[in-house]
Structure 1
Amino acid sequence: MFIKLLTAIVQEKFSDIHLHEGELPRWRTGGGDIEVIPGAEPITERDFDTILQHSVSEEDRGADLRVQERLLKYGGDIDLAATFGDTRFRVSMYWHGDRKLGASMRKVEKNIPKLETLGLPDYILKIIDRRNGIIFVTGETNSGKSTTLAAFVDFFAQRRVHIITAENPVEFLHQSRESGALISQREVGAGKDAESFDRALRAALREDPDIILVGEIRDRETAEVALTAADTGHLVLCSLHTRSGPSTIERLINLFPAEKQDAILSQLAGAFVLCLSQTLIKSVEGNSRVLAYEVMTNTPSIAANIQKNKIRQLVQDIESARGDGEMCTLNYTLSRLVREGKITAESARRAAYDPSNLHV
């Protein structure tokens, strides 16, 4: 039975588990490869139902929950958080291959890491130490965005503030601090705490927040409310599936119709604080992954080029400010990691979004 296997391996070093009905389960190892889990048996439909059962509250666990019924009700995929013992997983269940069941389970580490331990530059702490504005943490899937955002929240939790999060699902569990922050975590989704991110954000603005975390900006409505919140005295933390600072600005602008883009560019130029774009790369040893990142902050030149919609100019702005210790491109970080012997040149080239300008 898969649950017994999960209990046995939960302390091993892996980030994700992938399940396909009738097939052997696989996991993403510490080095980032997908491999069959040793000693596993093929996954059954009942295994999926059991995982679903672990996503509900204790008093509801006796219910006869069926994944097929849930998928039929919610359009073929569902997102949830499931707990096994004291370990949480972010779970996405779905249909594939003529309605066979599939699931991806992301392990959520119990202890929230301190920002200083993530491998980010020291100046990040100074950049994010703000009362208002908007901060983006971006990257492809499985790039550590959720962990970095959780570390940001933990950093701000030392303040006497009200932090509201909107997540789908809630991953890291944050506790309010008697001498620090009051933390309200809201889960987004059908039948959850809020139906959508934009509704959760609109409600949050009426709930006296100081800091708002948006699990992901997916649409124009959410982007609009997030920018308004940042523009009206709140600090907003959010994530996007973009690979660089410039592409993040471009993605946001393209969410809006042409007639609104000038106003949004002006608003963004004033509210923007930081875009931290990150990726995880297999180490030279092959048994772990190394964080690589790009940092773009809001210098006068960056703000001016955002307002004028000169997105291509932003890369040059980042390059020019690198010597001041304020920003760096992903290529700069990749080159440094190769020189330090932490990653290979081949891995660096695969990770670069602009490999033609990568010097390794």
Structure 2
Amino acid sequence: MFESGSYIEELLRYSSETKSTDLHICSGIRPMVRINGKLQEIEDKEKVFPEQVDAILRSLLNDKKLEKLYENKVLDFSFSISGVGRFRANAYSQRGTYAIAIRMLPFQIPKFEELGLPEISKNLTAKSRGLILATGATGSGKSTTLASFIDLINENYNYHIITIEDPIEYLHRHKKSLVTQREIGEDCLSFSNALRSALREDPDVIMVGEMRDPETISIALTAAETGHLVLSTLHTVGASKSIDRIVDAFPPNQQNQIRSQLATVLEGIISQQLIPRIDRQGLALASELMFVNPAIRNLIREGKHYQIGSIMQTGQGQGMHLMEADLADLYNNGKVSKEEIFMRSTDHQLLTQFLNRR
């Protein structure tokens, strides 16, 4: 007889032991895990049937969340299994049946030193106001970077930190700071709703899991403008594209105002990608780091985002660097393949220039 609780626990233990980042359960195929960036079947498991996926979901979700899944056909949630780990999951409908994608989350928030980011990026956590963005594709480690930043602030400052997440990924203990965490659907209705109420909860720092819509972006900019430190994520690669995404979320008649606000409050952008290592010992982090200086503020205000890359190249003394520079360094140091870096570069000509500087 199929025991959904023990079955999912066994799969998650296997995922943990093999250091998988993700587990996929979909009817008609064996469960699959992603190891070192590559998806592969779990060979000793049988194909999963729709009723088994349904049973797994019933073991992971309460009645309220099941009802929400059946209504919306998709659901984000998180859960823990004692002795195994903490997990973020997305259940979704496909071909009339449900599938589940599960991301492994460590119980402990990774220390900044473990992330592989430039030491100077830690300076962003000393800001007392403004907007800091972590950007990148899904699975690039944005949430982990922000969690580590929040932990640094928590260790060093007497602040009230509010996190707004969907779902809550890392659990923060109170250290020097008071940390209150709100989950969409459990503690609040939406990012914009939670962000608006957060401004009345005496915050010093607000972490918004994702700036998904114009309303959330607008309130986040206002929060940063009124003296709060706001941290958030975007699904973009590169600093200039992140600025484009924020501005383009608004109709043309509002874009000048948004550029002006963004030019005033933006403090820094960390863009990142995770790339399979040549030695197959995990993933290597490639990053782009932009600190906002007066020249960049002027370019944002004037809508000349395409010139920001040039300023970043001349601003290396301030700790800034482009993604292509980091990709080239990873290849030149023998950590990743040339094929991988060209797949992840958005400017092959610039990447070639950095490769040839060696």
Provide the C-alpha distance between the structure 1 equivalents of 2:140 and 2:128, rounded to a whole number of angstroms. Answer: 27
Distance 2:45 2:68 in 1: 26
How far apart are residue 4 of structure 1 and its match?
A: 4.3
- How many Å apart are 1:357 and its aligned residue? 1.7
Q: Is the 8 A contact 1:137 1:276 kept in 2?
A: yes
1:257 Cα deviation (Å)? 1.5
Partners of 1:237 and 1:316 lie apart in 2 by 25
Q: Which residue of 1 is the match for residue 322 of structure 2? A: 329
Candidates 265, 286, 289, aligned match of 1:295:
289
Distance 1:134 1:38, change over 3 A: same
Q: Distance in 1 between matches of 2:214 and 2:320?
A: 28
Match of 1:142 among 135, 139, 144: 139
Matched, 1:251 2:245: yes
Cα deviation digits, residues 272-315 of structure 1 (max 9, x gap): 01110000001011231000001111111100000001011111
Say yes or no: does 1:161 pair with 2:153. no
Q: CA deviation at 1:51?
A: 4.1
Q: 1:14 is paired with a residue of what secondary structure?
A: coil
Alignment of 1:79-158 (within 5 A): 79-86=76-83, 87-97=85-95, 99-158=96-155
Among 2, 21, 33, which residue is 1:15 paired with? Answer: 21
Query: Structure 1 residues 88, 8: closer, same or farther in 2, change over 3 A?
Result: closer
Query: C-alpha separation between the residues in 1 aligned to 2:13 and 2:304?
Result: 53
Native 8 Å contact 1:128 1:274 kept in 2: no
7, 32, 37: which is aligned to 1:32? 37
- Overall identity of the aligned pairs, in %: 36
1:325 Cα deviation from its structure 2 partner: 4.0
Secondary structure class of the residue paired with 1:157: helix
Return the offset for 1:148.
0.6
Greater shift after overlay, 7-16 or 156-165? 7-16
Q: Identify which of 170, 179, 185 aligns with 2:181.
A: 185
Q: Which amino acid aligns with 1:243?
A: V
- Greater mean deviation of Cα atoms: 302-311 or 281-290: 281-290
Unaligned runs of 5+ in 1: 57-62
**1:343 pairs with one of 327, 336, 345:** 336
Distance 1:88 1:307, change over 3 A: same
User: Map of 1:251-330 to 2, 5 A cutoff?
Assistant: 251-322=245-316, 324-330=317-323
Aligned mates of 2:56, 2:80 — CA distance in 1: 11
RMSD, matched Cα:
1.6
Residue 231 of structure 1 corresponds to which residue in structure 2?
225
Shift of 1:206: 0.3
Residues in 2 aligned to 1:234 and 1:310: alpha-carbon distance in whole angstroms: 27
Number of the residue aligned with 1:173: 171
Using structure 2 for the length normalisation, give the TM-score: 0.92
Matches of 1:208 and 1:267 in 2, distance apart? 22
Shift of 1:194: 0.9
Query: Aligned residue pairs: how many?
Result: 344
**5+ residue gaps, structure 2:** none
Whether the aligned pair in 2 keeps the contact of 1:54 and 1:84 (CA below 8 Å) is no
In 1, distance between residues paired with 2:313 and 2:102? 38
Question: 2:13, 2:69 → 1: CA distance?
Answer: 28
Contact 2:77–2:167 (CA under 8 A) maintained in structure 1: yes
2: CA distance, partners of 1:174 / 1:278: 23
Check conservation: 1:319, 1:328, Cα contact below 8 A: yes
